[in-house]
Amino acid sequence: MSKIIILNGPNLNLLGEREKEKYGNITLKDIEASCKEYAQKNNIILSLFQSNIEGELVEEIQKSRNNQDGLIINAGGYTHTSVAIHDALKILNIPIVELHITNIYNREDFRHKSLISKTATGIICGFGSEGYVMALKGMVNYLK
């Protein structure tokens, strides 16, 4: 059984409430339910964590170094700014998937730079909320 954690950063708790044209009308709860269903069917022990606070995300990443086999992260706006999250991810010896709902490369210039990408085994972006289950599938395959 693989242990995988999905981390979500700032504002992603508001999915489905605002900016639906960009992020869709599916809530984070819906996304998490789909991921849990996929995990159950595929023998994955899944942990889910969302925070709007950079330090809490850093703490959770640090904890993952000893008890997870893979980490999936949508760091939200911190993707483009957080050296602390980059540094925490660098410490890990497990595969990392960087995930974005939108294609950050066809949006504003300031979203084109990701501090996460260099630490990532793979990246999924632009497939909407479907990307979460895609990331899980990719991770499971990679861990085999």
| Residue 97: burial class (beta carbons within 10 Å; 0-12, 13-18, 19+) | buried
Which CB sits closer to ligand CA2, 69 or 135?
A: 135
Quote the strand ranges of the chain, DSSP E. Answer: 2-8, 44-50, 70-74, 96-100, 122-125
Which CB sits closer to ligand CA2, 20 or 90?
A: 20
- Give the Cα separation of 37 and 44 in Å (integer): 10
Q: Which residue out of 38, 78, 80, 100 is catalytically annotated?
A: 100
Active site annotation includes 80: no
Q: Which stretch binds ligand CA2 (CB under 6 A): 18-26, 46-54, 61-69, 81-89?
A: 18-26
Token duo for residue 104: 């950050």
Which CB sits closer to ligand CA2, 13 or 42?
A: 13
Residue among 4, 6, 12, 26 that touches ligand CA2 (CB under 6 A): 12
Sheet (strand 44-50) strand order:
44-50, 2-8, 70-74, 96-100, 122-125
Give the binding site for ligand CA2 (CB under 6 A): 11-12, 14-15, 17-19, 23, 74, 76-77, 79, 100-102, 104, 111
Q: Which residues are catalytic?
A: 23, 100
